Chains A and B, each alone.
Chain A
Amino acid sequence: MPNHANSDITQQVSPFLIFFIIHASQVGEGVLSFERFIAEKAGYDSWISILLTGIIFSIAIFLICKLSIRNNGEDLIAIHQSLFGKYIGGFFSLFFIAYFFLITMTVIRSYIEIIQVWIFPDLSVFLFSLIIFILLLYYVLGGLRIVVGLLFFSIFTTTFLFSFKYVAFTNGYFSNLLPIMDHSFTEILQAVEPMTYSFLGPELILVYAPFIHQFQKGIKWAIIGNLFTMLVYFLSAFAIFLYFNEQQLLQLSWPTLHMWKVIDLPFIERFEYVGITLHFIAIISTAAIYYWACTQSLFRLTGLSFKKIATAILIISIGFSFFIHDFLVVEFIMQKISKVGFYIIVAYFPILFLWQSILLGVKKK
């Protein structure tokens, strides 16, 4: 059985695997639909917002890694405790745990929505999410190494699927992009916020930092992973913008799925069925790492048994999916979470960083 409390060498992963963890935890449901959200704000100039978000996240990742390193490579729970004391720190940690939990839920639930719309209109949400959460539990109980294994393999499928964006470059219209820069800078900045949802994932670094062998070496891999995500999103958005015109794009919930429809392979007629299936690996891996982070944080906070916590979360999640039938509620939670995530990255972590710097300065004197 893996030892979740002590991150000894048998539980740790190599620093370059952060590349895979970051990329896989970022790419989830968002990559199928983010183009519409950003185009709503900044039209076809929103590709600039993608680059901007990528840069903001790279800085955030640097700050997050420094936060951990300056605290002897410890995790979020320990950082909160040392910065705010046991009770206030614990409260902040609890807030993060709820955040991780809600992300796990919404990621799975929103993909079930896609499956219902595209493949099985009368899918039993309860039974299906039960199986999915049992699958997630199976990975989470194996410890971080096993979860990272899933993330590692998921990258290959998402990259494979991403390569099918080529159809846009052969069938698209470059004139769609013109005129460039007909949106104001504030509009472009506004598109950063909806873009954040697809970039969320680096906040988990603070949970898995103790499980990285020679964490210091991992910083560059984390940033490279984030830049790779940025490149993937940039090219995705570029492809979608080439293929659909702006008015049409705003009507499509999942532009990527619509684009897969035109892919014509000699042995597969409707590629979107295969695409939705394969993309499910990315969803499962995103959910798995958040599920693990939620369990691990709660485990570090309360000291209860890891297995019991994970099982309790499973039961709560099943209950959650049993009572919330309405997808509008899920979408509402998703938008709120996206906002929370945005502020965590651009406001909370920088403030935490400053607060830590002040405390360290006081200690030195």
Chain B
Amino acid sequence: MSGNKQNLHTTKNQFLNEKHTTLHSLLTYMNKSTDFRNFPFQKDKAIHVYYYESLVDEKKIQANIFPYLENKKYRGLERLSLDIPSDNILITKDLKIIEEKLLSGYILIQLTYEKENVLLIAAFLEHNRDITAPEIEYSVVGPKVSFIEDIVTNIHLLRRRIKLPHLQIKEVVVGKITKTRVAIVSIDGITDMENLNTVTQRISDIEFDQIIDSSFIAQIISDNTSSPFPGLIDSERPDRVASALVEGKVAIICDGSPHVLIGPTTLPEFFAAYEDYFLPWHIATAFRLIRLFAVLFSVLITPLYVAVLTFHYQIIPIDLLGTITTSRKDIPFPPILEALILELTIELLREAGARLPVKIGQTIGIVGGIVIGTAAVEAGLTSNVLLILVALAALASFTTPIYRIANTIRLIRFPFIIFAQFWGLIGVLIAFLFTLGHLLRLTSIGRPYTQPLYPPRWQDLKDSFIRLPFNKQTNRPIFTRAEDSGRMNANRANKKRGKRK
């Protein structure tokens, strides 16, 4: 048994441990792939060039590098490197570096007379889409820029917004096979070192073989990996991420992902759209409260319907009871079945809409929403009161600015419905208390998830479910444990001039 285990251990990822001992064997191995190019220059084949045509901009090298190789005789690589007009150039004999550079878009030049050292010249082929407007976190007012799949562009977008040398990037390569570049961004002097160290440690200890997207990282490093609630916020808005960095949070950028992770985070932040900061504070507060209401409504309304109609019809006022009885009098199912059928229909429509191409998706929405909904009511399978409630609940779940939490909200409704069927209102309460207990136990990078509600931080409440004006936000949030906690000195702000009395 133990011998078997040992065996497993050695066979796992064994091919990665095969080291090429000579440059020659490495290059012959790479040459097995058909996109690897290798050809000599000059009559006596004094110079050899190797590169991956899929990674290198061939036009660039034909114009800028090859002319220097064709005629002139070089004594050594040093001499050659001086001639070539490129700054990203290095001479090395380290096989590990050679392998890494070749795979990231360098070309390799070897002289027949100087077998040991080789010359590496950068000639990256860049294929990036343009920076576009955010799609998931769209805002009507405010900047219309979103991150793209390229890590360098993403860092560029952040540096454009935070013009400080203190903005520090720490790059780690994770994923044994994908070798994904991951940048951990923080501001020296603001970000808490403990948070930064926790994030760095967790990311560098990732053992998974492929890191395709930042959500892989989020799932692997979050504190409770089996929680339905997201442990880190993912945002596609550079303004949101820059603002989070200034508040003392840590950002994680993953190459190949247009979503940047922010942590530590708290539950109220998932209900704060970045657009709230572009609006006057009372309007923003009203919007945030509407979102909070929407979430509670979305989670609770169907369970309450089931609970009240199954057990406590006495609660309903007499006039409303008439309306509900009329709409339900031909329904052959108990409320629980009625509710589950409708909830499942909505989930089906949403899932179909999300998988289909945009134009067909819209048709499906109309067919599903209007035709099936009306037909179900007319056929007497569901009551139209419940149809209204379920549709509203589905709508309400999409008011959250961060898409990830909308999924959570839609799914935690089902245990609530089942509890409601068992013990009515008390069942709903028990389900709620289980959720509350779970939220209280959750942490994000070691910081409590329910802050600033519990543990109560009165000071942080002014930017949570409500948002007070900027001149009241004199301190950074407590939960990020920012090393420099002050945002501004309110006493030093000058009075506005030119105000008419």
Contact = CB atoms under 8 A, between A and B. Distances in A.
A13 B437 contact: no
Nearest to B425: A277
Nearest to B441: A142
Interface string B312-335: 101111101000000000000000
Contacts of A270: 312, 314-315
Interface residues of B, number: 26
A150 B433 contact: yes
- Chain A interface helix/strand/loop/mixed: helix
Interface string A270-308: 100110111011001000000000000000000000000
Contacts of A333: none
A274 B424 CA distance: 11
Contacts of A273: 312, 314-315, 425
Contacts of B438: 138
Contact of B454 (A120, A153, A274): A153
A284 B441 contact: no
Contacts of A17: 455-456
Interface string B436-473: 11101100000000100011100000000000000000
Contacts of B450: 149
Contacts of A14: 455-456
Residue of A115, A269, A276 contacting most chain B CB atoms (<10 Å): A269
A221 interface: no
A47 to B, nearest CB: 32
Interface stretch (A92-100, A128-136, A193-201, A356-364): A128-136
B159 to A, nearest CB: 35
Given A13-B455, A149-B454, A274-B425, A138 B437 contact: yes
B430 interface: yes
- Chain B interface helix/strand/loop/mixed: helix
Contacts of B430: 131-132, 135
B425 A150 contact: no
Contacts, number: 78
Nearest to B307: A277
Contacts of A120: 311, 423-424
Given A13-B455, A119-B312, A152-B454, A135 B424 contact: no
A111 to B, nearest CB: 10
Interface string B46-57: 000000000000
Contact of A119 (B318, B424, B454, B456): B424
A118 B428 CA distance: 17
B314 to A, nearest CB: 5
B315 A268 contact: yes
A136 B135 CA distance: 43
A87 interface: no
A267 to B, nearest CB: 6
Contacts of A208: none
Residue of A138, A149, A267, A284 contacting most chain B CB atoms (<10 Å): A149
Given A266-B317, A278-B429, A146 B312 contact: no
B99 to A, nearest CB: 42
Contact of B440 (A146, A269, A278): A146
A139 interface: yes
Contacts of B320: 267
A13 B429 CA distance: 26
Interface of A: 13-14, 17, 115, 119-120, 123, 128, 131-132, 135, 138-139, 142, 145-146, 149-150, 152-153, 266-270, 273-274, 276-278, 280-281, 284
23 contacts: A17-B455, A17-B456, A115-B426, A119-B426, A120-B423, A123-B423, A132-B430, A135-B430, A138-B434, A145-B455, A146-B441, A149-B450, A149-B454, A153-B454, A268-B315, A269-B318, A270-B312, A273-B425, A274-B315, A277-B425, A277-B426, A278-B429, A280-B429
Given A13-B455, A132-B430, A277-B428, 8 more contacts: A123-B423, A135-B430, A138-B434, A149-B455, A269-B316, A270-B315, A276-B426, A281-B429
